[in-house]
Each structure stands twice: as structure tokens, then as C-alpha cells.
Amino acid sequence: MISLTNGYGSRLRNGILAAAVALPVGFAGPALAQDYPSADETLDWTIAFGPGGGNDIMARSIIEILDKYDLYPGDVKPENRAGGSGAVGWGYLYAQSGNPYGISTTSGSFVTTPLQADTPWQPEDFTPVALLATDDLVLVVNGNSDIQNIEEFIAKAKETPMNIGGTGTVNVDFIVPTLFAQKAGFEFDYVSFNSMSEQTTALLSNALDAMVGNPGEILGLIESGDLRPLVFSGQNVPAALEGVPTMGSLGYDIGVSMPRGLILAPNAPQEAQDWWIETMKTVVETPEWGEYISSNTLTPTVIYGEDFRTFLTNTKNGFQEVLKSVGAIK
């Protein structure tokens, strides 16, 4: 296990920065709960993946913001508990039922791992704080392809089935194009890859007709014209993809995306859940959060508390249905 402790040596630097920037925010945490959080308790922040990944970057960005604006009174100890596609880390949090000081960030595997393996936990078991953003996908073709836009793509796919590459099978990469194709009425062959890099080179080498991917990872290639974006699966197109239609605007809304949110251990006290919901309302207003969202090309989608639990349940059921229909899971 790789365990990292974010010491607070940077407090001074952050303090100075905060003094300069914090004026508009100007208060330190909502005052509704006096007992929670206690400054003596260390917040045990589980990151269910290794350092450097999307989940890790999100957790550390939130912690930076909490630190900078003095939103959390005690120490925060982020630990990377990677393993088993998140099963290890979220299993660790699951075991702390009732503890108000166990917290974690979610990502796509939070929904897909329990579908694939016998994890003791399900996504809806945890105490939901907030969905903060969603990871959405962009469908791209090679920059030298004849296909200029999504209408041409659909028209061509109806004539001869195309192949679309994505990462993994029990994954949003597979579910998004499958649902989109059903709605738009074309057929395609899904080609599954182990990593974004293999699938990108496959597309650049003209082996693939098209692929789906997180815009953040391929923005450089889109900017240089090596890849041509056709359609985006989220509700709002990120600034970097201006002019690209969304699936919803074409009338093929699929309503599936990967949740990036915040959870507490199962059965955490009500006051802890309330405190974190109020605090996250402050966090998402900060300019740093805006910067995190735009530099990672996420779609800001904020829902709190029990609505987040409902969202998780719906996403899980949606995934399960599609994956069962193609026989990927039983």
C-alpha cells in the first residue's frame, strides 16, 4: 500500500494566499453543528486509487481548498488505499460504519466494481454527501476522416456498421455508445482496450473508425486537429469543446455519466452529513474549484444528500440493465 500523509507544512503559504483570495467567502464553515467536526479528530480521507489518477487529483484538490479557506478545523490525513479497482479503499470506508470522520471521493469504479466482483458493499450503502461533477465522454474520429460531423457519422453508420473503441467493457465507455446507438438507430462493433493510450494510437493508425474518451485526456490531440470531436455525452459542453453538439441536443439524451462525488462511511451521523453538505456548498463556489473543473474538463453537476443516493441507485440500475442485456454480467 502506498500511504501518503499530507502534512500541514504548507499552511503558512496557503494562509497568505487565503488572506488574499478569501475575502468573498469570508467565513469558516457553517455554524450549525457545534460538536462536529471536532478539531481534535483527524479526518481519515480514503483515496481508493493510487496517486496521480483522477480520483486522487479530485480528493487532493478538495483538501487543498478546505485547507486554504480554513473550512475544516482539524487535521486531514489523505491515504491512498489502492487495490481491486477501488474495492480495497471503499471496503475500508465501509468497515467504519457510523464513524463521522471517515470520508472518500467516488469515481466510475464506485458503480462498476460492485457489478463485477463480490464486494461486501454497494454504492448506495454509504452516507451520500454530494455529487460534484460528472465525467462525460466525447466521440471522436481521426482528424483525416471524411466524417465531418455527427449527422454524417450516424448516416454512414446506418449504411455500414462502424467500430468504436473504448476502455474496458463494464464501463461507461461501453454503455454510452451502446445507449446512443440504440437511440440514434445505428449498429456498431465495440472494440475494448486496456488503456486510453492503446485506443488512441489505434484510432490514429486508422485501425478504428471512432472512439469515445474523456475529453481531458485527448484535448491536446483535438486542439492540434489530429482528432475530430463529433458529439459530447454530458449536458453542457466544456469550453474547450465549443461548437460540439451534446447527445441531448440531438434528441438522443442517454442520461448516464460517471459520478465524481463525496461520501461518508455508512450510517454516519446526520449532523456530519449536514455539515459536509453545507461545507461542499462553499467549496464549489471557490475559484479553485472552478479551475479544477475546467482543467479536468468535468461537467459540473451538483446534487446533495439523499438525491445523490438516488442518482447512484439509478446509475447502477442503468448500467446493470445494459450490461446484462449484452451478457457482460449475470
Partner 1 sequence: MDIFADLMMGLSVAITPINIVYLLIGALVGMIVGVIPGFGPSAGLAILLPVTFGMDPIGAIMMLAAIYYGAMYGGTITSILLNTPGESATVASTFDGFPLAKNGRAGPALVMQAVASFVGGTVGVILITILAPMFSQVSRSFGPPEYFLLAMMGMLTLLVMIGTNWKLGVISALIGFALGTVGVDLETGQGRYTFGSAELIGGIYFIPIAIGLFGLGELFYAFYGGLHRTGTGAIVQYDKEERFWPTAQDWISTRLTMARSSILGFVVGVIPGAGATIASLMAYSTERSVSKNPENFGKGEMAGLVAPETANNAASSGAMIPLLTLGIPGSASTAVLLAAFLLWGMRPGPLFMEQNPELAWGLIASMYLGNMALLAISIFAIPLFVQIIKVPYRILGPTVVVICALGTFSVNASFIEMFLMFGAGIVGFFMRLYGFSPAALVLALVLGPLAEEALRQTLTISRGSFMIFIERTPSLWILGITIALVAFLPLLNRLGGKTASSGDAEKAGS
Please report how close the Cβ of residue 56 comes to partner 1 at its closest, in angstroms. 8
Taking the C-alpha atoms of residue 47 and residue 302, their distance in angstroms, rounded to an integer, is 21
In the complex, the residues that contact partner 1 under the rule CB under 8 A are 1-2, 4, 6, 10, 13, 50-53, 57, 60, 64, 80-88, 113, 116-119, 163, 168-170, 174, 189-198, 200-202, 204-208, 216-221, 223-224, 226, 295-296, 323, 326-329
Q: Minimum Å distance from CB 53 to partner 1? A: 7
User: Secondary structure of the chain: what % helix, strand, coil (to 5)?
Assistant: 40, 20, 40
Residue 75, number of CB atoms within 10 A of its CB: 15
Nearer to partner 1, 81 or 309 (CB): 81
Which DSSP string corresponds to 274-290? Answer: HHHHHHHHHHTTSHHHH
Distance CA 261, CA 263 (A): 7
Interhelix angle 54-68/11-21, nearest 10 degrees: 70
From CA 263, how far away is CA 273, in angstroms rounded? 9
Rank residues 29 and 143 by Cβ distance to partner 1 and give the closer one. 143
Q: How far is the CB of 206 from partner 1 (least distance, A)?
A: 7
Rounded least distance, CB 79 to partner 1, Å: 11
| DSSP labels, 93-104 | HHTTTT-TTEEE
Peptide bond between residue 238 and the one before it cis (omega within 30 degrees of 0): no
Which of 112, 233 has the CB closer to partner 1?
112
Nearer to partner 1, 34 or 160 (CB): 160
Between 25 and 219, name the residue whose CB sits nearer to partner 1.
219
Minimal distance, residue 27 CB to partner 1, in Å: 26
